[in-house]
Structure 1
């Protein structure tokens, strides 16, 4: 027996030793791809030596003799830290994810092949100006230099993910960078889905006026500068809507986002007259889906025009939001209506033809093959009309709005084969004046942005991006799909750049955009019927006009503000007949729980503080209220509304144009009032809260439900690994606060923070060296790197790191200096 026990001990010890060796071996393999920032390396294509100085936050400061060398070094630095992310972005744009991930990503690849984003990017390369083409080629040489170094030095395939998803990496080319810019347009555009949703609503709502309730136009006139301080679809033409069920879970690899999670952002500027220190101020925080690593990457470049520092996207040689010594710029999603769905009539005698204003024409057709890991390849037939690519009914619920004998096509500025957005970005970085920056904007095509620019003494804001020219007699004004064979429904080209809204040096000294309506012009110069914000703008106005002059710190305070104007305005409306009414109820009863919840909300100031219970009660109530209002009228289509629009709630509870009709449950005999529905919705919310968090309402924490979900798109769902690669943090803010933390709206955790400001920057031209910025994760995409999540806690706490162009400051705290030399004999 003792002998058996001795052998068991030996076997157990051997197994432990093998496990330790396996872990050490795995760590050795994975750590081989950790970049060495302190070295000298010869690479091909350089004109002279280049220095990459990494400061203590791992931000590369790149110094070279020529711009081409600087862009080449940026490509090298991006590939050092974010190679996996870059390759996945490129594969997404190319429609080649399935070669790595198998059938999981086939639907994504099919859609991207139909869009032909990458084909348009390849065609667009030759439309860039010579300086931009040189920058793109140099950047590609830098990425390829890192690929060559990985191969020559056996550096762990370049990223840990490559061991799990081994696939060859093709050399980087200029079109790859252009394609990633176009991919951003895919992520930020939502008008296609909104058009289809509006059309679907017209088929289920008996009263067309109710469509204006649930998809309301942004009220009021446009806001940008503040004042001085002191039937196309006939009945029976469409198929019946399919049965319900919740929307399919969003694949983290998909670039398509539901309208509620399309791009958003804040940017605001102050002129010297409104600045305490006498210099201009600019704050910018673009909002995109949270991920690990962040889509943003901080960098400083020394160009011929001087230093430039700010936020880049790995794969793209641009500082998209940042500053130079003389100029600062920020971007926000413009919500320009840059997409139109067309219903194309097929020739009943030849389905390969479709109707045009001049008769039937043949589809432009070609085939493409999608290779799939561990499965047979799929051959896809792509069809295109004069209006754009044909999309299948299985995408975007198009089958529900496409009559028999018809197909849907898409016009979209992002599909332009003459897209010079990259050239615009290069020109913007070199601009030394407001005039030069705004002139650079003429080359922007997609995604459309509102560009906010400040110089030392001036401020300006202009929408940049191609505005489609629509006919004044367009059937639907772009609100819904239209008949593609009618000439006045087709795009008539592009409006002149002068038609883009512009605001320069306003008398009030303040400019800003929170994705709100910026102009109120009649169609077809309207810019959009669908804007991204009707709420944050009110809080921004109050903060800007609440003080005569601003400082860097007051701009930071506004950027971090978590007070919900929406909560302050809606709670008195929906709870008007519930507060302090009725008799006291016994402890432990539903009525008593409701009274406790109402008492908490009555004393609440609307601050979405992560440590408070009121934000969770309010958010759950608003969500339950939306469900109560939607379900009876919309049936299965109610699942499309994951977030309750505050303007819709206000219309209903104020009975604007008869909107209170939403409160009556048609399928019940009694006539319910809006007070009845508000009470029932609050009870629904409290049932959900108690089942999830218990009955101790006073102990609830909004941050427990509103966790920032920065998950790795691929490894984030792998058991064991997810604890190393995912970044989860308790956060404040909410759907409608300036510090926006957009909730998912679906699934078992509907209040997770999934869409927020992955980058924040505040630029102070009274003291440019005091400017600050931050990203939401860390610079590195390697989860074994200490720079993978080192900035995440600073971001969560609302802190920043210095944004200095002083090379000596960067060198003083450098964690490494990489010297790139021209390859001998090159």
Structure 2
């Protein structure tokens, strides 16, 4: 027995030692890819010394004798910290994910190949101005200098993720940077899905009721649209009921940039002129919203250019500060919601599917074959087709099969589908501008995705919608709200409007400008810009906060940026619960009636603040979510899944009975005529039961932050057991779908898992003060590094969650003081 015990002890000891050796070995190899921020390198492609001084949070401040070397340094820094992120984004836009991820990404690759965004980016290189070509070329050399060092010095393959996948790291090309902007256009465009939704609803419930779920802003002057089924009478009810569980993406498919319209970009910006700023300068606050990932898409940097130093938010892969400030100018971006996409249904020739009908007769599709290489599987060959209106899209995406009649296919017109895209030149030009007027002029070169560009210099403020606006015929059959017949000459685009037609606001008398993706002005079709906008409740809250002060400061702008009061909750709860407050006699403790009474009492005393520490936001969110599903489920059936998030305007219209919208409260399949009070009560009871099962019976102990965790998940390792606990960044957060400090929930159909996770919000925040420029502050939602073993992987995320910011000086001496190291790049013969 003693001998057996000794051998078991020796075996256990050996296993422990072996485990330690393995862990140490893995850590050693993975940590090899951690960049040394305090190192000197000799590299090719640089003409003089480049200095990259990283401050305490590893934010690079880049100095060189000429601009080309500065852009070289930015490419080098981006590659040091985010090489995996950059190459993953490049593979996405190229349609080459399946080469490393296998069959699960074939559909994403297929759609990216059909759009041919990378080919269009390659064509667009020659369209850039000289300054931009210099920046693109130098930036690519900087990225490649780091890749070459990784290969030559065996620096852990550049990132831990590369150990999981075979193959070399492809060198960076100027076209790759242009393709990054094309990829952003995919992520920020939602009108394609809106058209499909509108068409399906029109055929299912009629145009009048569509306006309840997809309302048009008052005063637009829109005439009644035709019923979609009348345009395409061969559609079947079975088709219309079809819907994928996630719009634009196959269930379970990873790495897809095709998100639902609810995730297709949002953002906030506000600016104050000198007369409304306490220190007599101008103020600008900006927080663009994108899907959360680890690391975040944003990367802070400071560049010392010949036109002056600039600092702010960059996106790895793009050689420009996209949002930020210089000594002379501050610039910001918000999604404009311009309708820059149209779907066309092309009628196929009955004799051959190679031809389609045009206004002048039958025409041949432009076709090309493309081979998708698939890891651990056979290659997949697809045939790409284009009509005069654009690429032909498969019916498996965006539920296109549901609205495409037999014998027809769907084509997409989109301003991003051009080979002369000078959006990068616009970004470089804006960054170099020395005044509002100069930046407004540079914005003319911008193509897609359309944005609202907000600007301040020392004396002026302005907002300009940038991006090409499609010119539609005044007789367009659907006005761009639904798919149209491809052969109808009135439906086809007639080019784009001139830049002067885009909305512009300069130095308003009120001294204040702001945008929360709301409708900025009222113009009749076809100059209308869009029929679909972001929610209107955020702009209402912003107006209220701005009116509370005659003058503003940096602190008041930060306060507005971090505001978590839901104007939607303040509006809806008195309507929905009007006849429920204190209606019942006191109920016995522990009964559903007692739970309902307690929940109603909490909501009655609540001010609408979506605080992570309170139960009321969770009760409100669950109630409104369940209420909307119950209102629409009987009319829409399986198509209910189209609406993954609560629509405040819809619920308000129903409970105010606007244009007869109260009819939604009756369950059409039942013999009883239900009232809105009935449906509100049953929805609350169902929501409370769901929350009790998830968080326990004690309502007072529920916390919104437990459900509303910001999900900065690693796109590759985030679902791997054990590893996910090291690479995913989860944080309890305040805010919600309709607050200024927006934290969009994941949503989903009824029964969806963890629907209240915070998946989309302000990955970057900046507040710039031209009265005291050095007081400007910045933050991103994770850290500068994309390496999970780096202490800079999530250090800024801790500050972001608390609503804190960091300074980023333009003073060279202060930039070099302290920090975590200085990297020097010297020319190598």
1:108 & 1:439 partners in 2: Cα distance?
37
2:307 & 2:775 partners in 1: Cα distance?
21
2:355 to 342, 353, 356: 353
CA contact (8 A) 2:42 2:828 kept: yes
1:245 & 1:164 partners in 2: Cα distance?
31
CA contact (8 A) 2:105 2:254 kept: no
Partner of 1:768: 773
Partner of 1:553: 555
What SS does structure 2 have at the residue aligned with 1:57? Answer: coil
Partner of 1:228: none
Cα pair distance change 1:243/1:517, threshold 3 Å = closer
Residues 623-654 of structure 1, C-alpha deviation per residue, up to 9 Å, x if partnerless? 00011011011000001111121111111111
Does residue 707 (structure 1) correspond to residue 702 (structure 2)? The answer is no
CA contact (8 A) 1:264 1:514 kept: yes
Residues 184-238 of structure 1, C-alpha deviation per residue, up to 9 Å, x if partnerless? 0000100000000110112211x4310110111134689xxxxxxxx44327421
CA shift at 1:533, angstroms? 2.2
1:792 & 1:509 partners in 2: Cα distance?
33
Partner of 1:720: 722
CA contact (8 A) 2:334 2:516 kept: yes
Partner of 1:400: 402
Q: State how 1:580-729 maps to structure 2 within 5 Å.
A: 580-729=582-731
1:221 & 1:296 partners in 2: Cα distance?
36
What SS does structure 2 have at the residue aligned with 1:376? Answer: coil
CA contact (8 A) 1:343 1:408 kept: yes
Partner of 1:387: 389
CA shift at 1:131, angstroms? 1.1
Partner of 1:536: 538
Partner of 1:452: 454
2:488 & 2:795 partners in 1: Cα distance?
56
Does residue 233 (structure 1) correspond to residue 232 (structure 2)? The answer is no
Cα pair distance change 1:256/1:522, threshold 3 Å = same
CA shift at 1:300, angstroms? 0.3
Q: State how 1:138-153 maps to structure 2 within 5 Å.
A: 138-153=138-153
Residues 457-488 of structure 1, C-alpha deviation per residue, up to 9 Å, x if partnerless? 11000100010111100010000000111111
What SS does structure 2 have at the residue aligned with 1:283? Answer: strand
1:808 to 813, 817, 820: 813
CA shift at 1:588, angstroms? 1.2
Cα pair distance change 1:48/1:638, threshold 3 Å = same
1:165 & 1:677 partners in 2: Cα distance?
53
Partner of 1:567: 569
Cα pair distance change 1:244/1:680, threshold 3 Å = farther
CA shift at 1:582, angstroms? 2.1
1:144 & 1:266 partners in 2: Cα distance?
35
Q: State how 1:498-537 maps to structure 2 within 5 Å.
A: 498-537=500-539
CA contact (8 A) 2:243 2:402 kept: no
Partner of 1:24: 24
2:516 & 2:622 partners in 1: Cα distance?
25
CA contact (8 A) 1:232 1:475 kept: no
Q: State how 1:268-307 maps to structure 2 within 5 Å.
A: 268-307=270-309
What SS does structure 2 have at the residue aligned with 1:525? Answer: coil
Any gaps of 5 or more consecutive residues in structure 2? 222-226
1:204 & 1:429 partners in 2: Cα distance?
48
What SS does structure 2 have at the residue aligned with 1:414? Answer: coil
Residues 685-712 of structure 1, C-alpha deviation per residue, up to 9 Å, x if partnerless? 1111111112211111100010001000
CA contact (8 A) 1:219 1:534 kept: no
Does residue 15 (structure 1) correspond to residue 15 (structure 2)? The answer is yes
Partner of 1:215: 214
What SS does structure 2 have at the residue aligned with 1:714? Answer: coil
Partner of 1:780: 785
CA shift at 1:167, angstroms? 2.7
1:729 & 1:716 partners in 2: Cα distance?
15
> Under a length normalisation based on structure 1, what TM-score does the superposition of the two structures give?
0.98
What SS does structure 2 have at the residue aligned with 1:372? Answer: coil
Aligned residues: 815
CA shift at 1:251, angstroms? 3.9
1:554 & 1:303 partners in 2: Cα distance?
31
Partner of 1:227: none
> Under a length normalisation based on structure 2, what TM-score does the superposition of the two structures give?
0.97
439-448 or 239-248, larger mean C-alpha shift = 239-248
CA contact (8 A) 1:232 1:483 kept: no
What SS does structure 2 have at the residue aligned with 1:389? Answer: strand
Partner of 1:203: 203
Partner of 2:154: 154
CA contact (8 A) 2:75 2:317 kept: yes
Partner of 2:224: none
Residues 586-615 of structure 1, C-alpha deviation per residue, up to 9 Å, x if partnerless? 111111111110000000000000000100
What SS does structure 2 have at the residue aligned with 1:96? Answer: coil
Any gaps of 5 or more consecutive residues in structure 1? 223-230
CA contact (8 A) 1:221 1:519 kept: no
Partner of 1:173: 173
Partner of 1:225: none
Residues 371-397 of structure 1, C-alpha deviation per residue, up to 9 Å, x if partnerless? 000000000100000100001111111
2:168 & 2:408 partners in 1: Cα distance?
41
212-221 or 502-511, larger mean C-alpha shift = 212-221
